[in-house]
């Protein structure tokens, strides 16, 4: 493994977006952009973090990249900061194009913004924030991995992540409604229902490729008798790759469209599907960029919503899922929102046997797909998989204790774990809570 790791670091990964981006750079442009960001976009937060850090390195072992690449200090959170933002500050922005390239690679493909390191820093320094600033600078310099930039283009053009056309989206909902009516004849997926209790929002891959997830939600909503709706206009997608590429103006536009859609429909709250990064964007980052300390309309993540339904007895379990499960805590809803106990409540309610992986809850290791890393595409796939050997070891340990299925209430976790399970030959099944809920709940006959 030691060899594989060092090989990866030394091998140049070619990414057209980054390479073409740095070709266009001039020293003047770099100076200008960096000084603009440092002067106008950051303030006390950056200064506090930078001035407080004592370079102790306690954050190192928090990072899955560091652990997986044989404790190479270049991969420790402090190491990444040292190679990027500190250097930028030290040199007052006087860095060259090669430096920008390296900075982009570090911030976007060697850090998932999972914030595990913040748990281990004696001062609670949020390294993810520092990496976001680096990403922001690179975005303004036009140095972004090609695949990620493509997703951002889709957001800009369609307000969703996957170039889903408006009629295509609506048709997918109608289709799933028809399918589900086979099971529950009077089932509806209410479109544009003004004044509904809940606006259910999804990420674009659901209507595009995983329509089954919408089907399952429709069944759950109908069984639980929830007053809900989905919009028929752009603004239905809650995902946000712009937040991760550094295109925060676009992030703001997306979140604005999302909130305004909810307001137009006069709903009481937004319930989101099982996605982590979208939650971070709607509940934490995007809303704050729009100057809302808290979202203007209450936002509930699927895990919390399911918890309510079971806890209030709106749905009940007919038959428990009979394989031994373990729970993958997605960073954005566990560390970000503290939903880990609710997730466990659901796992225990729905499954006969639940065992913990270690570490867990807010200390869980990242899947290595989040933070926009999986969206950097094929060039970086192996770097990402090898960069999470630690996760494979963690999963192997829980598998050795009997776990067969991993519950992962996040799309990115699914993607990341799927690759890890295949690459390391773990042979475990990965499921959404929604999959298990659909299988296990009492449905009208």
Partner 1 sequence: MFNKILFATTASPTCDNAAKVAFDLEMKWDARLYVFHVFGLTGYGYSPFVTDSRTGEDVREGEDYRAWVIEEMKNTYAKQLEGSENIVLEATVGLPHTEILRKARQDKVDLIIMGAHTREEDIGATRFRSVVGSTMQKVAQAARCPVVIISRPCTTCWRLFSNIVFGTDFSKAANSAFLFAFKLAKEVGAKLYLFHAIDIHFGDTGQTQRQEVIEKKVEEARERIEKRYVSQMDGFDNYEIEIWEGVPYVEILKFAREKDGDLIVLAHHTKEIDPEKALLGSTVEQVVLRATQPVASVNRPDRVAEW
Binding of residue 282 to partner 1 (CB under 8 A): no
In contact, 350 and 378? CB cutoff 8 Å: no
Distance CA 27, CA 355 (A): 54
What are the angstrom distances between the C-alpha of 229 and each of 184, 196, 201, 267?
Answer: 17, 6, 9, 9
**Rounded least distance, CB 46 to partner 1, Å:** 29
CB-nearer residue toward partner 1: 296 or 377 = 377
What residues have CB less than 8 Å from 132, skipping those under 6 apart? Answer: 107, 113, 246
- 31 burial (CB, 10 Å; 0-12 / 13-18 / 19+) is middle
Binding of residue 81 to partner 1 (CB under 8 A): no
Name the one range near partner 1 by CB under 8 A: 79-87, 178-186, 190-198, 334-342: 178-186
Nearest to 390 by CA among 68, 59, 115: 68
Binding of residue 153 to partner 1 (CB under 8 A): no
Binding of residue 204 to partner 1 (CB under 8 A): yes
CB-nearer residue toward partner 1: 49 or 432 = 432
Exactly one of 418, 423, 424, 426 binds partner 1 (CB under 8 A); which one?
418
Q: 3-state class of 304 per DSSP?
A: helix
CB-nearer residue toward partner 1: 78 or 430 = 430
Exactly one of 143, 159, 162, 342 binds partner 1 (CB under 8 A); which one?
162
Binding of residue 209 to partner 1 (CB under 8 A): yes
CB-nearer residue toward partner 1: 208 or 363 = 208
368 DSSP 8-state letter: S
Exactly one of 126, 177, 179, 308 binds partner 1 (CB under 8 A); which one?
179
Binding of residue 170 to partner 1 (CB under 8 A): no
Binding of residue 150 to partner 1 (CB under 8 A): yes
- For the four alpha carbons of 51, 52, 54 and 58, in that order, the dihedral sign comes to negative
Name the one range near partner 1 by CB under 8 A: 38-46, 94-102, 345-353, 411-419: 411-419
Q: 3-state class of 270 per DSSP?
A: strand
Exactly one of 26, 51, 185, 378 binds partner 1 (CB under 8 A); which one?
378
Binding of residue 113 to partner 1 (CB under 8 A): no
The residues facing 227 across adjacent strands are: none
**Any long-range contacts for 2-6 (C-beta under 8 Å, 24+ apart)?**
2/70, 4/386, 5/68, 5/69, 5/70, 5/72, 5/386, 6/72
Nearest to 400 by CA among 355, 346, 351: 355
Question: Phi and psi at residue 300, in whole multiples of 5°?
Answer: -120, 130
Binding of residue 419 to partner 1 (CB under 8 A): yes
Binding of residue 325 to partner 1 (CB under 8 A): no
Q: How many CB atoms lie within 10 A of CB 62?
A: 23
CB-nearer residue toward partner 1: 93 or 415 = 415
Kindly write out the interface string for residues 238-277 of this chain, putting x where it contacts partner 1 by CB under 8 A and - elsewhere: -x-x------------------------------------
Positions touching partner 1 (CB under 8 A) are 147, 150-151, 161-162, 171-172, 175, 178-179, 182-183, 203-205, 208-212, 239, 241, 369, 374-375, 377-378, 381, 411-412, 414-416, 418-419, 422, 439
């Amino acid at each position: 493994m030691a060899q594989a790791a060092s090989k990866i670091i030394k091998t140049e990964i070619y990414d057209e977006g980054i390479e073409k981006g740095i070709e266009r750079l001039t020293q003047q442009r770099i100076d200008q952009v960096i000084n603009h960001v440092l002067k106008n976009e950051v303030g006390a937060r950056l200064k506090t973090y930078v001035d407080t850090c004592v370079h102790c390195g306690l954050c190192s072992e928090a990072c899955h990249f560091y652990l997986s690449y044989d404790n190479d200090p270049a991969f420790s959170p402090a190491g990444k900061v040292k190679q990027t933002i500190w250097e930028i500050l030290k040199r007052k922005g006087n860095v060259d194009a090669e430096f920008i390239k390296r900075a982009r690679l570090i911030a976007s493909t060697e850090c998932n913004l999972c914030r595990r390191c913040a748990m281990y820093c004696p001062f609670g320094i949020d390294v993810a924030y520092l990496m976001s600033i680096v990403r922001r600078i690179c975005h303004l310099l036009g140095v972004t991995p090609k695949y990620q930039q493509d997703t951002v283009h889709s957001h800009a053009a369609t307000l969703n992540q996957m170039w889903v056309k408006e009629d295509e989206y609506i048709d997918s909902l109608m289709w799933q409604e028809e399918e589900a009516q086979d099971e529950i004849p009077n089932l509806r997926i209410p479109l544009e229902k003004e004044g509904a209790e809940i606006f259910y929002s999804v990420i674009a891959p659901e209507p595009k490729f995983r329509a089954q997830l919408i089907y399952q939600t429709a069944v759950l909503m109908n069984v639980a008798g929830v007053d809900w709706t989905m919009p028929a206009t752009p603004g239905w997608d809650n995902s946000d790759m712009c937040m991760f590429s550094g295109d925060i103006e676009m992030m703001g536009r997306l979140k604005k469209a999302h909130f305004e859609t909810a307001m137009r429909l006069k709903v009481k709250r937004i319930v989101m599907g099982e996605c982590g990064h979208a939650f971070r964007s709607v509940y934490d980052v995007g809303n704050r960029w729009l100057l809302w300390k808290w979202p203007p309309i209450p936002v509930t993540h699927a895990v919390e919503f399911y918890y309510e339904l079971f806890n209030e007895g709106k749905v009940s379990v007919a038959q428990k899922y009979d394989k031994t499960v373990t729970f993958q805590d997605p960073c954005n809803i566990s560390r970000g929102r503290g939903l880990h106990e609710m997730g466990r409540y659901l796992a225990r309610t729905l499954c006969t046997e639940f065992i913990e992986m270690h570490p867990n809850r807010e200390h869980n290791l990242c899947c290595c797909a989040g933070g926009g890393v999986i969206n950097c595409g094929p060039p970086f796939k192996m770097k990402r998989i090898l960069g999470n050997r630690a996760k494979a070891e963690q999963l192997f340990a829980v598998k050795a204790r009997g776990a067969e299925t991993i519950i992962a209430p996040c799309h990115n976790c699914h993607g990341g774990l799927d690759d890890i399970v295949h690459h390391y030959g773990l042979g475990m099944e990965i499921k959404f809570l929604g999959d298990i809920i659909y299988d296990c709940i009492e449905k009208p006959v």
